[in-house]
Structure 1
């Protein structure tokens, strides 16, 4: 008799048991929604899928009477722009700091304590400081995302750099390579797929900081819209927006994983 720990599902079984929890949650929601709406047709807590469809149709396919804009797509574009800028800044700084502190002991000795302290500061706690320093415009939102995930990326890449076998560095020096050549030709190429992995892992936090910043000080964006309509308990808008954010996060993760596999097929962990 096989032990449970040794049982592995077939691909078909894996797909079935992977989809099963989603189907069950969907059925539970439908039953609960029907029950609440039958008791009170004006109930807003668990809207029917038809109500959510009407709300998104209104937000995405009908121009706003006040601005003439398609709010759903304007919110999406604004949020994606902020997220992309924040992640790009964080990835650039994180790569530079992680590579240098991991490769150069002198820089490691001077920068690692500071990096550790910065990584312990809750980014949302300094949000008022960012608003004071950078104002309530786009820059403060982008900086919150960048400051929030840069320490994670930097520390991860620092560790990855230190994991590279020292034999490679010795061989490069034997062949006459100087410090900058070792960093650029030996270390950097091996860190690029690790950078993509670190960005993938930090995207969840990036979305959190984005939505928090938009909820507090913004006039558009997915986070702004969710917190705006909550005043009216508009769950028919909130739930589709949350589902849309989840879908976007999944697509970004998939795109980064695919990019890593295409650019760095030699990296074993590129697809995970």
Structure 2
């Protein structure tokens, strides 16, 4: 008897199964929109696909009358810049501190409990403090992303370092390797692919912090535009922006998975 857990779909079946939830979601929206518009043709909650396409064209290919900017492009570039700086700084700090915390007992005794406590603080709760401290400019938004994800990266990498087989450390010391050589030759090569995994898992919260900061204090950005359009109930703009943010997040995750596969395929061979 073939058990269900041992049955694997073929390529075509896998593609159809993967596409089916998206098709059902689009179909459900189309039916709900048609039903609402049949009752109230001016309904803004679930605009027709034609209205959404008009809004996409207006935000993407038509310059803004006041500024002359292509708003979707402008908002995307501004948000991605903030995200890249915040995640990049968190990635660098998290890697250095995580490796040292996981490998060196004195660093672990000093920082482990502090990192655990800081990681429990909701980053959005300190957003007013950041705005008061750093003002309403770019710094507060970047710091929010940094503070929101760096504790997770530190804890994750520190745990991964502790999971390195102790025999490797003992053999390296037996051969005369110093602490610095152990870090460079043994720990760092094994932690770089783990760092990519940690960043991938941190992208979701990073987007959340970015959108929240832009919604409160910004003059451009994807989050700013969504909450600006909320005032006018412009769901024809909000829905494409949400879909675009989702696509960007998925695409960044795809790029990181590709980087991991190309650079560190030896570590994931057989289960990627």
Which of the five TM-score ranges fits, normalised by the shorter chain? over 0.9
C-alpha distance in structure 1 between counterparts of 2:48 and 2:122, whole Å: 38
C-alpha distance in structure 2 between counterparts of 1:11 and 1:60, whole Å: 35
Task: Tell me whether 26-35 or 227-236 shows the greater mean CA deviation.
Answer: 26-35
| TM-score, scaled relative to structure 1 | 0.97
The match for 1:154 is: 154
Asked if the contact 1:145–1:206 (Cα under 8 Å) also holds between the matched residues in 2, the reply is: yes
The match for 2:258 is: 258
Match of 2:238, SS state, is helix
Task: Tell me whether 6-15 or 238-247 shows the greater mean CA deviation.
Answer: 6-15
- Give, in angstroms, the shift of residue 117 of structure 1: 0.4
Deviations along 1:37-68, one digit per CA (max 9) or x if unpaired, are: 12211110111111111111111111111111
Q: How does 1:46-61 map to 2 (within 5 A)?
A: 46-61=46-61
- Give, in angstroms, the shift of residue 9 of structure 1: 2.1
User: RMSD in angstroms over aligned alpha carbons?
Assistant: 1.3
Deviations along 1:74-116, one digit per CA (max 9) or x if unpaired, are: 1000000000000001101110111000000111011100000
The match for 2:122 is: 122
The match for 2:35 is: 35
The match for 1:238 is: 238
- Number of aligned pairs? 272
Which blocks of at least 5 consecutive residues in structure 1 are unaligned?
none
Which blocks of at least 5 consecutive residues in structure 2 are unaligned?
none
Task: Tell me whether 116-125 or 176-185 shows the greater mean CA deviation.
Answer: 176-185
Match of 1:232, SS state, is coil
| TM-score, scaled relative to structure 2 | 0.97
Deviations along 1:171-193, one digit per CA (max 9) or x if unpaired, are: 11122110111111110111000
C-alpha distance in structure 2 between counterparts of 1:49 and 1:180, whole Å: 59
Match of 2:64, SS state, is coil
The match for 2:175 is: 175
C-alpha distance in structure 2 between counterparts of 1:264 and 1:174, whole Å: 27
